[in-house]
Amino acid sequence: MTTAALTHTPAEQALIEALQGATGWRAQLREATREQGLPTKRNELWKWSDLRRAANDVSAAGELVVDGLDAAFLRPDDGARLNLTLTAKPGASAADAEVTVPAGHAVTLVEHYRAEAGALGNWHLKITLETGARLDRVCIAADAPDGVFVSSAEIVLAPGAVLNQRTLDFGAKLSRIETHITHPGEGADVDLGGVYLLDAKHHADTTTVVHHTGPGGQTRQLVKGAAASHGHGVFQGKFIVDRAAQQTDARMTHRALMLDDRAEIDAKPELEIYADDVQCAHGNALGAIDETALFYMRQRGLPAPKARALLIESFLAEPLDGIADESLRETLKGELRNRLEALS
């Protein structure tokens, strides 16, 4: 397709400028931005998350501060726990890193995303799991109320590798956590969980693509969300099952609560299947809080806001139960509880 010369928005110019002389993924981002601009809702993959529009207050190059990372290429030791904090300062910025989990090692990776007002932060991770490796990845976007933060990861598993990923997103002006996974089957196992809780015009987008390339792979995905007062939740999940990926067992579920009549939730759970001997299913359900349960709890003496918060918490916390590390699990559940209390 040939397009006429694109007029770049200030945010696009700023991002291109910020990435002058960059290499690798950041160079790709620069060229993509130069050629196509920032994605808009006309782009099928960004249909419900208009990045160009969200970044309308960005006009200068900024900085994405990465804390907790010693090198751009990492090969962590067995049992290591990496705590990263990514802070997007006002303006357009991007950073990336590569992590390889060596064969047979188990590693925990925690990423905190923060964006200040007027920031457009782009973070990219390339992760390789060698044979039999295990990665527990937790991404938390809890501190970016007025900024724009896009996290994307490309994760490649070797046979026998295990990936357990959990995301917790309280939204931003636009927050997107995008994960692309190459799943070789053959004993490899992928377990994805996600939670979003949104209010006050916050936007959270959970996008995942799991590509099954070899036989006998397993993937489970459970994403739950809730949105109130102009909160906008987006879930896009896609399973691709190649012809060679026979006996794949892949299940995707997205469930969400609409907390009031100003919220919006959009979902696209997609299956693309080329192998015949597979079990693939996806489910998607949207609805409101169960009024009978609420009534029951109030009748037992709980005040309405408390009852509501409890119901939402029990609904949302389910994906977090899958976090292996107990202290991490409790921390995330605590954050969710605090947020719910602030909401009600």
Partner 1 sequence: MAAVKETIEDVKKLEADKYKYGFTTDVEQEFSPKGLDEETVRYISAKKGEPAWMTEWRLKALERFFQMKEPDWAKVKYPPIDFQDIYYYAEPKSGAKYDSIDDVPEEILADFEKLGIPLKEQEVLLGVKGSENRVAVDAVFDSVSVVTTFKAELAKAGVIFCSISEALRDHPELVRKYLGSVVPASDNYFATLNTAVFSDGSFVYVPPGVRCPMELSTYFRMNAEGTGQFERTLIIADKGAYVSYLEGCTAPMRDENQLHAAVVELVALDDAEIKYSTVQNWWPGDENGKGGVYNFVTKRGDCRGKNSKISWTQVETGSAITWKYPSCVLKGENSRGEFYSIAVTNGHQQADTGTKMIHLGKGSTSRIISKGISAGRSDQTYRGLVSIHAKAEGARNFTQCDSLLIGDQCGAHTVPYIECKTPKAVLEHEATTTRLSEDQLFYARQRGLDEEAATALLVNGFVREVLQELPMEFAVEAQNLLKVSLEGSVG
Please give the residue ranges that form the binding site for partner 1 (CB under 8 A). 44, 48, 243, 246, 257-289
Which C-beta is closer to partner 1: that of 201 or that of 282?
Answer: 282
Which C-beta is closer to partner 1: that of 274 or that of 296?
Answer: 274
Residue labelled with tokens 């290499």: 23
For the CA atoms of the chain, what is the radius of gyration? 20
DSSP 8-29: PPHHHHHHHHHTTT--HHHHHH
CB of 291 to partner 1, least distance (A): 11
CB of 302 to partner 1, least distance (A): 21
CB of 322 to partner 1, least distance (A): 23
- Going by C-alpha positions, the residue among 137, 85, 166 that lies closest to residue 336 is 166
Chain centroid offset of residue 217 CA: 22
Four-residue CA torsion sign, 271, 272, 276, 278: negative
Residue labelled with tokens 């992928």: 190
CB of 260 to partner 1, least distance (A): 6
CA angle 170, 232, 64 (to 5 degrees): 50
CB of 278 to partner 1, least distance (A): 7
CB of 263 to partner 1, least distance (A): 7
Which C-beta is closer to partner 1: that of 158 or that of 256?
Answer: 256
Which C-beta is closer to partner 1: that of 44 or that of 70?
Answer: 44
Which C-beta is closer to partner 1: that of 264 or that of 335?
Answer: 264
CA dist 168 and 174 (Å) reads 14
Which C-beta is closer to partner 1: that of 60 or that of 310?
Answer: 310
End-to-end CA, the chain: 50
Is the Cβ–Cβ distance between 112 and 138 less than 8 Å? no
- Going by C-alpha positions, the residue among 265, 231, 269, 234 that lies closest to residue 253 is 269
CA angle 206, 320, 311 (to 5 degrees): 95
Which C-beta is closer to partner 1: that of 82 or that of 271?
Answer: 271
CB of 200 to partner 1, least distance (A): 16
